[in-house]
Amino acid sequence: MAIEYERAKNLFENNRINDLILEDGGLRFLKLRSMSRKPNLVELFSSTGIALPPQRGRNDLLHIAYNSNIDEAQIESVIKSIYVYERANRIEKEEELIDELYKLQSFDWGGLYQNNLEKL
C-alpha cells in the first residue's frame, strides 16, 4: 500500500528523502514534487484528461495528483515535455544570459532552506 500523502510530505519537508524513497509511492511523490509549480500540475491534469479541480492552489493540486490514477509513465512523459519546452526557451536566451553573467562583479550564491531555493 502506498504511503499516505501527508506522511510523504512530512518526510520530504524534514529532508528524509532516503526514507521517502524506500516507501511504496515515495518515488511517485518525488516525481510529482519535482514539477510542483502550478502551471506544470495544470499541464499534467490537462495531458492526462483529468478535469482540473476549480480554484485549487499548488498544494491542493499536488495532493490530488498524488492520490489520482495518473500512472508514473504519464508523469514522466509530462516532466520530459516540460523539460524540452523549458530547455528550448533557455537555448533561445542563452547568449543574452551569458552576456549578463559576464557583467556581474560578484555573486552571493546563498543556500538552500529545506530543499527550497525560493525561501531565501
Pairwise pLDDT comparison (97 vs 81), residue with the higher score: 81
- How far is the C-alpha of 12 from the C-alpha of 75, rounded, in Å? 19
Taken in order 72, 76, 77, 82, is the CA torsion positive or negative?
positive
Q: Is residue 75 part of a domain?
A: yes
What's the pLDDT tens digit per position in 39-86?
A: 999 999 999 998 888 878 888 999 999 999 999 999 999 999 999 999
33 domain residue, yes or no: yes
Examine residue 118 and state whether it is found in any structural domain, yes or no.
no
Q: Which amino acid is at 115?
A: N
- Asked whether residue 66 is domain-assigned, the answer is yes
What is the residue whose three cell numbers read 550564491?
A: 109
The total domain count for the chain is 1
In a domain, 119, yes or no: no
pLDDT band at 104 (very low <50, low <70, confident <90, very high): confident
- Domain residue limits at 34: 5-104
Residue 89 lies in a domain: yes
Record the pTM. Answer: 0.73
**Is position 115 within any domain?**
no
